[in-house]
Amino acid sequence: MACFGGEIIALSKRLLVVGGTGFVGGHIAQMAHETGWSVVIAGASVVPAAGEIMRRSVDIGDAMAVHALMQEVRPDVLINTAALADVDRAERERDRARRVNADGASNLAHSCRAAGIRCVYYSTDVVFDGLQDAYREEDPPRPLNFYGASKAEGERRTLEACPDSAVVRVSLVLGFPVEGGNSFLARLRERLLAGQQVPAPADEIRTPIDVLTAAAATLELAESDYRGILHLGATSAVDRYTLAQRLARAMGLRTDLILSEASYPMNDPNFVRAPRHKRGVLDVSRARQMLRTPMLDLDETIERALETLP
């Protein structure tokens, strides 16, 4: 059965955002709601809330639970932003990371194909080893850590289960959360306001994207028939130290607290620091050619990220 019927979205436009209480998923859900979608958020621990966006709890590692959710919600499009995305935690809790990032992705994609639902899976530059100058969509994954390996497996299993799916890769998403989730910019602001030092390694290079552009591009992709992998990001790369300095200055905060090297608890015997790739540079040429949503330069990316400041 085809995963995406050409006229379905035009008739109904019901969107299920799995991981919709997270940073990226929350913005996708909010923007979709504001632009006319009927939105349902699902996640492992979703707190019911009043309002027009429905919420459901689901363990995506449980195939029967996923099937029951899909039967209840009956979306036209599913966007899967659910992830155990803490790189060090994923290294320690491999079974849990695989259950969410790979098994859960497979369960959702199988259910999408069975029901003829458009499927979009969110992935990451961490699937690469960082040894190339930049990475195109067709470059094979070579992850250095278990988080990257689990997301690469999630990509593969999503596309095998539902070949008409789209897989979105992003490098570093900037902005403030709608209600929660893992935000580099929010942590940076919080720690600088508290007078705390912030490690921002100068040897880790990324192609950041602001969360509003990421959400808009994802919703555009959701309504398209694009299949396969697509890279989203800024049109130029920057190292984490320089980026943190620029963000701090733009917010009027101290820059002297930003450290150009990583730091972690040296005296904690239970702490496992996973290997990091150095160059997470995504080539966004394909997105620039095919999407109406523009991929921004670095100045525009920073400016738009700060628009989400509460």
Residue 17 lies in a domain: yes
Residue 255 lies in a domain: no
> Across the strands, what pairs with 121?
80, 167
Task: State which residues form the domain around 200.
Answer: 11-239+274-306
Residue 248 lies in a domain: no
Residue 222 lies in a domain: yes
Task: Give the N- to C-terminal CA distance of the chain in Å, as an integer.
Answer: 44
Domain of 112, CATH number, reads 3.40.50.720
Comparing CA positions, the residue from 62, 229, 203 lying closest to residue 141 is 229
What is the pLDDT, as a whole number, of residue 263? 59
Residue 31 lies in a domain: yes
What is the pLDDT, as a whole number, of residue 181? 84
Q: Which residues contact 238 (CB under 8 A, 6 or more apart)?
A: 205, 206, 207, 208, 246, 298
What is the pLDDT, as a whole number, of residue 266? 47
Query: DSSP states of 102-161 as a string?
Result: IIIHHHHHHHHHHHT-EEEEEEEGGGS-S-SS-B-TTSPP--SSHHHHHHHHHHHHHHHH
Determine the Cα–Cα distance for residues 288 and 273; give it in Å rounded to an integer: 35
Q: Which residues contact 174 (CB under 8 A, 6 or more apart)?
A: 184, 185, 208, 209, 210, 211, 247, 301, 302, 305
Q: Taking each helix axis as running N to C, give the angle between helix 105-115 and helix 146-161, from 0 to 180 degrees, rounded to the nearest 10.
A: 10
Positions in the chain short of pLDDT 70? 1-12, 47-51, 262-272
- 3-state DSSP assignment of residue 171: coil
> Across the strands, what pairs with 169?
123, 231
Distances (CA, A) of 92 to 60, 195, 212, 234: 20, 30, 32, 31
Residue 253 lies in a domain: no
Residue 265 lies in a domain: no
The letter for the amino acid at 102 is A
Taking the alpha carbons of 176, 197, 128, 105 in that order, is the dihedral positive or negative? negative
What is the pLDDT, as a whole number, of residue 245? 97
What is the pLDDT, as a whole number, of residue 52? 76
Tally of domains within the chain: 1
What's the DSSP call for residue 282? B
